Structures are given as C-alpha cells and as structure tokens.
Amino acid sequence: MIAAALLCGCTKKENERSSVTQIHGTVVTSGEPVNAAAILLTPGGGVKITGSDGMYKFADLQPGKYELKVFKEGFQSFNTSIDVAHGKDEEVTVILTRGAGNLSINKAYVDMGSNEGNNVAGFSILNAGNAELTWSVSNAARWITNVDPPEGAVAANSSAAVVFTIDRSKLSSNTVDNYAILVVRSTTAGDGSTAELLVTVFNVGDGANVTAVITLLYDGIMVQSYDISSGADWNAANNLCKSSRVAGYSDWRLPTRGELNAMYDGKTAIGGFSNALYWSSDRDSNYSSSYYYAKKFEDGSMRSYFDSNSFRARAVRTLP
C-alpha cells in the first residue's frame, strides 16, 4: 500500500510538471547576454524585461501559436513565430544583431503605466553619420494621437527629440491589446536604416476604439503583423480582410501582386509570415474561371491558382 501511494505521488508530480506550457530563453549578442531587452509575446503574453543574465520566461501559457518580438536600442528587432503544445517547454535563444545604417533611437521600450495623468513621453533619434539625416515616424495606433514632430532632420553626429501623446479613452477594453510600435525610418537616400519603439499602457479604455494586434507601416502600405487566416479559399480570405477592423480602420483588403512582392522583401521587418502561399487580390485574366495570384513566402515564387485553393492571407490598407 505504501509503495502504491508513493508511486501515485510521483506520477502526480510528473503530470504537473508535464502540464507546464511555457516559452523561455536567453537574449544574447556576440555570445554575451543582453540586459534590459524588452520581449513582447502575443497574443496575451505581455512584456518581459531581461536582467543582466539575458534570460526571460513566459509561463502558464495556453497551447497555440505565438509571436515573440524583441526590442533593444542599438539593435535590429528580432521576430519569430512559435507553436506551443500543451505541456511543452519551448526554449528560444534570441541572437540580436547591431542596427544597420546611421539612424538609431536612445530607447526601445516605453511603458506608459496606469497613471491617468501620464500621457506624454518621448525619445531621441540619433545620427551616427557625418552628414545630415532625414527621418519620419510611422504610427499605427489610434490611441497614440500625436507624434511631434512626425518627421525632420538631424545633424551629423547629433540627436533630435520626439514627443508623443496618448489618449487613454481610445484604449482597448482588453489590457493585453494596449501596445503599439512606433517605426522610425531614415528617409535619407542610400541609408535605409530603421528603429522600432515598443509602447505599452497597462490599463483599459471603454472598448469603443479597439486597437487589436500590432500593425506596421511598410513601403506605402499598412500591414497587419498577423495572418488574418491560416488557410482559406480566395473568397473567404477576401471577405475576412474586408471585414477586419484592426486598429480601428475599416478599409483593410487583400494585397495586390506588387504589394505582396514588397511584403516579401520586407517580411523580416514586418514579421509573422510562414513559408506558405499567400493570396493576392489580382485575378489572372488569362483564364475564364476564377484564378487569382498567390505568392509563396518560402522562395518568393508567384503564379495563379483556382480560387477554391486554401492559402494564407494577410490584410493591408493604403496609407493616406
């Protein structure tokens, strides 16, 4: 009886350990841990900040697909997709690389907190080059109501200050939705460098203006940073895009072939893509039936397919 009781006890503990679903790992560069990196896990994981050991952990997760994005000033943002099964312990080592070009920002993460009076924050744009650099800031969150200035120039080996304002009444009614990314992009010919600032607010609004998943601005279009469908025929994918209300906008749509090409070129910066086929909005006029072009994000190839095929979809909208 004692042996049976002990056996049952061990089995229970083992089952408890096996039911833990988590993502953890270390953020490093050149083999050394990175301190004070901000790790965003979506959906619903929130933000973790690394310590001097570079380690992070998101525990008690539900099984499913997650996007992990890492921000650190002076480094390129890191983005990856993770499929987590029940009881699975996923270890992800993040290797950061230095930002390219002359543009950078002095911080990678701003937490606006829950203080109702804390609605203004700022950051600095740095120019490490020997000539003047021009820049612009892209904002996809309705609750970030003003970026001042939204564009400008910074002298060689100098910095420029940017201030942004939030409106807490426009926050989502779901706390985990209230984050955004300000994308700072060099507009100087031949430079092409970018930097990203993660902004979070840990309280909720009235839900009237829901800021759902992160959106990013790329090459003249706004691109949702998650696939709106992991597999749908063309008509269903088209309807899903048109009915989307991400970030409060109602003019989302399937991308054209040209926009899909731009998204493929910038897929690392945008993030969240799989090596699968993605629908475009363009029909192949060479066929009498309904054939639409789709692009394979594994190798960049594109051809037309009958609309009953099941492919992934990513919604976009044209910038005003």
| Structure tokens given for 251 | 């003019």
223-318: CATH class: alpha beta
In the CATH hierarchy, which fold is given to the domain comprising 103-211?
Answer: Immunoglobulin-like (2.60.40)
Furthest CA-CA distance within the chain: 81
How far apart are the C-alpha atoms of 120 and 146, rounded to whole Å? 10
Over residues 24-69, the pLDDT tens digits come to: 999 999 999 999 999 998 877 788 999 999 999 998 888 888 889 9
Could you tell me what percent of the chain has a pLDDT over 70? 84
> Is the pLDDT confidence value at 94 over 80?
yes
pLDDT at 213: 39
How far apart are the C-alpha atoms of 288 and 286, rounded to whole Å? 7
pLDDT at 177: 62
In the CATH hierarchy, which fold is given to the domain comprising 19-95?
Answer: Immunoglobulin-like (2.60.40)
> Do residues 205 and 143 touch, judged by C-beta distance below 8 A?
yes
How far apart are the C-alpha atoms of 242 and 136, rounded to whole Å? 29
> Is the pLDDT confidence value at 320 over 70?
no
**pTM, full prediction:** 0.60
Over residues 250-272, the pLDDT tens digits come to: 788 999 999 999 889 888 777 77
Over residues 122-157, the pLDDT tens digits come to: 999 999 999 999 999 998 788 899 999 999 999 999
Does this chain's domain 19-95 share its CATH topology with 103-211? yes
Going from N- to C-terminal start, the domains of the chain cover: 19-95, 103-211, 223-318
Using 50, 70 and 90 to split pLDDT, how confident is the model at 222?
Answer: confident
Q: Is the Cα dihedral 232, 263, 97, 103 positive or negative? A: negative
